[in-house]
Structure 1
Amino acid sequence: MQFNSQQGDQSPADAIALRARCAIAGFTLLETMIVVLLVGLLAAIATPSWLTFINHLQLNMAQDQIYRAMRIAQSNAKRDKDIWQTSFREKDGIVQWSIHRAMGKTCILDQVHWHSLSSTIAIYKDKNKKGKSETTLAKPKGDCSNAGVWRVQFNYKGNTNGQLGQITLITKNNSTTQRCVYVSTLIGALRKGRYHPKPNNSKKYCY
């Protein structure tokens, strides 16, 4: 009885298939490494853009809150035939706002309810490149603990109570990313604005 001396040996076809599988496996590993490297590079590139997007989103949300707060105070003033105001302050590095009845010329009560904006948001208090303030709402001074709160008041007609101005918000890590809300007329017109590279006629960059 003869035995095939090739029995048990790998055929040429099997050898070729094995080499092909090894080559494919090796290429897949290399490809995976390249993909991982590319993902890392893209992540490094995309991270600043993502952070910018988040900052803009939080700033837009803060601007909307400020705008709505002013609108509510204006509506309450017309409803109650009384002076209402929206107040703004920074406490422990957090911007806060409150809607309440007017409480005199200088102070507001501690009992009013304050709402906080994102901790990444600040009120822009510095002067701009033209030497003008971008936050110009009334900020009465007094002896009480709440002295220095920015405010805007509305009378029973919904008109501003003799004050015009704006409040400008920035992100704490980028003062050129700005959003503002301003009272533009004595009849209580409210507008939203954003930073522009060129100032307007009032030498403001947020309009």
Structure 2
Amino acid sequence: MHSAALLRLNKIPKRFVVETPKPQCLANRLRYVFPYFQKDAGFSLIELIVVMLLVGILAAIAAPGWVAFVNRQRINKVNDAVFAALQQAQREAKNKKLSYSVSFQRNSTTQNVEVAIYRTDAAISTWTWKPLAADVGANSDKFLLGGNLSGENIANTTTNSPVSYPLSTSAKITFDYMGALTLPNNFGTVAAGTEPPGLKIVIAVPSSANPTLASSVKRCVIVKTLLGSMLTAKDDKCS
């Protein structure tokens, strides 16, 4: 019976028989299908160096633009916080029918710009200082705080009210019970036919050459009139 089975298997047509390719034949077929199939596939040292150089060049080109973009976004947030603080002081004065003041300073320990909103007749020891723009995730320690105030509601009258850094610690802006500026006030000396500069609180990006000086990137809030009208400005308008 065993011999009969072998005879039947030998009679099976070759088209029904599946042949297993030999290992050498399989490798040759793979080399034909994949022309890059070889043992030494990969990158050479020169290719890696060229790629790294290109990445470094692109990073050097893009980095300054990215840093400038980030600085602009942060300084906008800090300036918005200055505007909001002045508006809050003005609103408190109107709502409570009392004079309210707002002051800014740089904390000597944390270097953060801080703001205090308080009743004008409150003792200094009762003022509550809060980091400026901390609630919106902006670090004010990276910027310069300046202004043209030389006293309460008084703009510096020298050389058309220039902005100085840092802002004087004695400088503050006070609103009366109607939300208008209290006296004394001075919006700065001006040339004939020009508009007074107003009271300015300025946030500036430090100069790369000297971090104690302001660069051309600035944002500011300007109190323009006795009625306490405010607007925001940037760059040369804040000088």
TM-score (norm 2): 0.61
- Bigger Rg over Cα: 2
Q: Retained in 2: the 8 A contact 1:89–1:150?
A: no
Q: For structure 1, list consecutive stretches of 5 or more residues without a partner in the other structure.
A: 1-6, 140-147, 197-204
For residue 182 of structure 2, give the secondary structure of its aligned residue in structure 1: coil
Where structure 2 has 5 or more consecutive residues not aligned to the other structure, the ranges are 1-21, 133-139, 149-155, 188-198, 209-213
**CA separation in 2, counterparts of 1:8 and 1:179?**
74
Contact 1:94 1:122 in 2 (8 A): no
TM-superposed deviation, 1:55: 1.3
In the TM superposition, residue 195 of structure 1 has moved relative to its aligned partner by 0.8
Q: Which residue of structure 1 aligns with residue 125 of structure 2?
A: 110
Question: What is the aligned counterpart of 1:133 among 125, 144, 162?
Answer: 162
Please tell me whether residue 166 in structure 1 is matched to residue 195 in structure 2.
no
Query: 1:98 aligned to 2:116?
Result: yes
Greater mean alpha carbon deviation, residues 90-99 or residues 61-70: 90-99
Q: CA deviation at 1:30?
A: 8.2
Aligned length: 179
1:83, CA displacement in angstroms? 0.3
Whole-angstrom distance in 1 between the partners of 2:57 and 2:39: 27
CA shift at 1:61, angstroms?
0.9
Paired residues of 1:181 and 1:193 also in contact (CA < 8 A): yes
**Aligned CA-pair RMSD:** 3.6
Structure 1, residues 3-29: CA drift from partner, whole Å, max 9, x if none? xxxx77567655545652239944799
Distance 1:23 1:179, change over 3 A: farther
Structure 2: distance between partners of 1:159 and 1:99: 16
Q: 1:15 to 1:191 in 2, by over 3 A?
A: closer
Cα distance, 1:40 vs structure 2: 3.2
Letter in 2 for 1:123: L
Amino acid at match of 1:54: V
- Paired with 2:90 and 2:34, the residues of 1 have a C-alpha distance of 80
Q: Distance in 1 between matches of 2:24 and 2:96?
A: 99
Structure-2 separation of matches of 1:8 and 1:116: 74
